[in-house]
Copies of this chain bind each other. A is one copy, B any other.
Amino acid sequence: MSTIRRFSPAADGGYAWDAVERLKYKDEGSAPFRDITRQVLFAQPDHASELRYFEIAPGGYSTLERHQHTHAVLILRGHGTVRIGPDTHPIGERDLVTVDPLVWHQFEAAADSPLGFLCLVARERDRPQLPSNEQRTELGG
């Protein structure tokens, strides 16, 4: 059904929408991460892609990982950094980030700001890989 779902921020200021569930980023203990939520904004039956919204609290970060599927990211709220391969870049509102296949990446909110972003992925996608201790050392992480 055609719908309008209103933007409706949470009491803590976190971005949220009517009729959109705020989900866990991942199961606890499945991979390293901190203070991050996930919302599925669009998963249309005729689209083979999904648009999700992730929000990382100040000081939080996503998992350092890589996978075959690509990411297309638009920063919607706040600022922080993105690690892409060996490099770390500052990112802010409305910047666009693409992450290529099998490139290590990690998003991190600034200490004093949340980092909220849209992420477009193919609906059918491979599972993320985590770095070995050796790879992590090479990445300086």
Contact status B95-A6, CB under 8 Å: yes
Contact status A96-B42, CB under 8 Å: yes
A2 within 8 A of B: yes
Number of copies: 2
Contacts of A72 in B (CB 8 A): 41-42, 44, 47, 51
Contacts of A51 in B (CB 8 A): 51, 72, 74, 120
| Segment among A28-36, A98-106, A129-137 that sits at the interface with chain B | A98-106
Instruction: Give the residues from 8 to 64 in chain A that come closer than 8 angstroms, CB to CB, to chain B.
Output: 15, 17, 20, 41-42, 44-49, 51
Total A residues in contact with B, Cβ cutoff 8 Å:
46
Bound form: Cα–Cα A68–B121 in Å: 22
Bound form: Cα–Cα A121–B84 in Å: 27
Contacts of A70 in B (CB 8 A): 44-47
Known: A4-B91, A44-B98. 7 other contacts (CB 8 A): A2-B103, A7-B92, A15-B94, A17-B96, A41-B74, A42-B98, A76-B94
Contact status A74-B118, CB under 8 Å: yes
A93 within 8 A of B: yes
